[in-house]
Amino acid sequence: MSRITIERDGLTLVGDREEPFGEVYDMAIIMHGFTANRNTDLLKQIADDLRDENVASVRFDFNGHGESDGDFEKMTVCNEIEDAQAILEYVRTDPHVRNIFLIGHSQGGVVASMLAGLYPDIIKKVVLLAPAAQLKDDALKGNTQGATYNPDHIPAVVPFRDKKLGGFYLRTAQVLPIYEISQKFTGPVSVIVGTNDQVVDPKYAKKYDEVYENSELHMIQDADHRFSGKYKDMAASLTAQFLKPLF
């Protein structure tokens, strides 16, 4: 594993790159969720399982998260898509990389789905784990994971746990064309969700499966939003099997 840094509009994004064997290989870009970072147990397991299938990966911290630059309160889904696009450019220009895959957990799943819809000619496959398209409905209702606000008069910042959530994050979340952009990707998609997800209603994962032209839906019985415990191995294995080379 090697540490990488990528510049995006004056911000330094920090990531880890896993190298497989061989001169030419496929590579997955792995995206974490809201308030998380690249080193969650789930994402590390996915990177390990992919390496075992000889698939390279880059997992990185979005702006305002983990080791990457930026203020959390300035983070939006839109500028996370810009972060992911910067990583995509880095991967696209690598002469060793053959096929490019996107993997996203939770809000990272929304980012991955929208980036794939913007680059359907570049991305080969997508895996969405507990994709958090609910973030749009939450912003329209004025309740984001317990942080409440007036959805018609969103303040500049909203207290959120030990952080501050930017009003611009919430305003843009209200109008995100999540499924409209996502469905422009017509390649293979695997949607993985736990039936006991208390953070994002599994119905949002099911809707992804409905709007995609070429998708499969995996409902892991009793798994939670983070796929903790034994469910981590199940989710990582499903991901690696879906992306492993066919030859």
Question: Nearest-CA neighbor of 135 among 124, 144, 125?
Answer: 144
Which ranges in the chain belong to alpha helices (H)? 41-52, 77-92, 107-118, 134-141, 167-173, 178-182, 203-211, 230-243
139 domain residue, yes or no: yes
What average pLDDT does the segment 111-133 reach?
98
pLDDT tens-digit map of 60-93: 999 999 999 999 999 999 999 999 999 999 999 9
13 domain residue, yes or no: yes
Task: Output the domain CATH number for residue 129.
Answer: 3.40.50.1820
Residue 175: domain span: 1-241
State both tokens at 86: 């910067």
**9: β partners:** none
User: What is the distance between the alpha carbons of residues 8 and 86, in angstroms, rounded to a whole number?
Assistant: 6
81 domain residue, yes or no: yes
Q: Please give the mean pLDDT across all residues of the chain.
A: 97
User: What is the distance between the alpha carbons of residues 222 and 229, in angstroms, rounded to a whole number?
Assistant: 11
As for how many domains the chain has, the answer is 1
41 domain residue, yes or no: yes
User: What is the distance between the alpha carbons of residues 241 and 247, in angstroms, rounded to a whole number?
Assistant: 13
User: What is the distance between the alpha carbons of residues 196 and 219, in angstroms, rounded to a whole number?
Assistant: 10
What average pLDDT does the segment 55-59 reach?
98
Cα dihedral 90, 92, 93, 96 sign: positive
Residue 150 has pLDDT above 80, yes or no: yes
User: What is the distance between the alpha carbons of residues 90 and 43, in angstroms, rounded to a whole number?
Assistant: 20
**How confident is the model at residue 118, as a pLDDT?**
98
83 domain residue, yes or no: yes
> Half-sphere exposure (CA, 13 Å, Cβ side) for 147?
17
pLDDT tens-digit map of 85-116: 999 999 999 999 999 999 999 999 999 999 99
Residue indicated by tokens 């996915």:
46
HEC string of 38-52 equals: CCCHHHHHHHHHHHH
Q: In the chain, helix, strand, coil percent, each to 5?
A: 35, 30, 40
pLDDT tens-digit map of 188-241: 999 999 999 999 999 999 999 999 999 999 999 999 999 999 999 999 999 999
Q: Give the confidence band of 28 by pLDDT, cuts at 50, 70, 90.
A: very high
Question: Nearest-CA neighbor of 139 among 119, 120, 167?
Answer: 167
**How confident is the model at residue 3, as a pLDDT?**
97
Write the CA distances from 205 to 16, 161, 229, 234, integer angstroms.
27, 26, 21, 17
pLDDT over 70, % of the chain: 100
What average pLDDT does the segment 135-155 reach?
97
247 domain residue, yes or no: no
46 domain residue, yes or no: yes
10 domain residue, yes or no: yes
What average pLDDT does the segment 152-170 reach?
97
**How confident is the model at residue 246, as a pLDDT?**
75
The residues, any chain, with a CB within 8 Å of residue 93's CB and separated by 6 or more, are none
